[in-house]
Amino acid sequence: MAEKDPRIGRTTQPVTMRVEFGKIREFAAAIKDDNPIYFDEDYARREAGGVMPPPTFTMTQAFWDSHSNRIELGMDLRRVLHGGQEFEYVQPVHAGDTLTARSSITDVFKKPGKRGGEMTFAVLETQFSNQRGEIVLYSRSTIIETAKPVEKKD
């Protein structure tokens, strides 16, 4: 049996992010979502207790981080793909909340590539808690390092 990949269990320092109304609006516009729950504070207060971020908004957390706090996976950026993403919503999040994210590598495994070589898969789980210490969300990213640069199609 293969030894456990040494990257499994690597964690980040906690990262704090403010959930800002302006950033929510900008993000919603970028995904072409005109839902008033992202834009209209009165409507959102009635419908959801306040403006909520779009379901994928917390992905922005990774970029609030300083580079020194990244988990080192030793992957070649030219060959890295985002394979999949999963969110579990535990408690509502609203504009004005302060979230603390804690990330760790929960799995690393290899599979043969379609054109030879090996593909590496890594699962990064991030747990978000709010300013009251309640867990509000889990996010799980599957990162793939392809075996070699993708060949240009003719």
The footprint of another protein (CB under 8 A) covers 23, 26-27, 29-33, 35-37, 40, 43, 47-49, 52, 54-56, 59-60, 62-64, 77-79, 81-89, 92, 149-153
Residue 145 DSSP SS3: strand
**31: its two tokens:** 């995904």
Residue 105 or 137: which CB sits closer to another protein?
137
Residue whose C-alpha is closest to residue 95's, from 131, 123, 146: 131
Residue 1 or 15: which CB sits closer to another protein?
15
Residue 4 or 70: which CB sits closer to another protein?
70
Least distance from another protein to the Cβ atom of residue 37, Å: 5
Least distance from another protein to the Cβ atom of residue 146, Å: 10
Residue 10 or 89: which CB sits closer to another protein?
89
Least distance from another protein to the Cβ atom of residue 6, Å: 25
Residue 10 or 25: which CB sits closer to another protein?
25
CB neighbours of 73 closer than 8 A, spacing ≥ 6?
A: 7, 105, 122, 143, 145
The DSSP code sequence of 74-137 is ---GGGEEEEEEEEEE-S---TT-EEEEEEEEEEEEEEE-TTSSEEEEEEEEEEEE-TTS-EEE
- Within 10 A of 1 (CB to CB), how many other CB atoms are there? 3
Least distance from another protein to the Cβ atom of residue 41, Å: 11
What angle is formed at CA 29 by the lines to CA 23 and CA 33, rounded to 5 degrees? 120
Least distance from another protein to the Cβ atom of residue 38, Å: 8
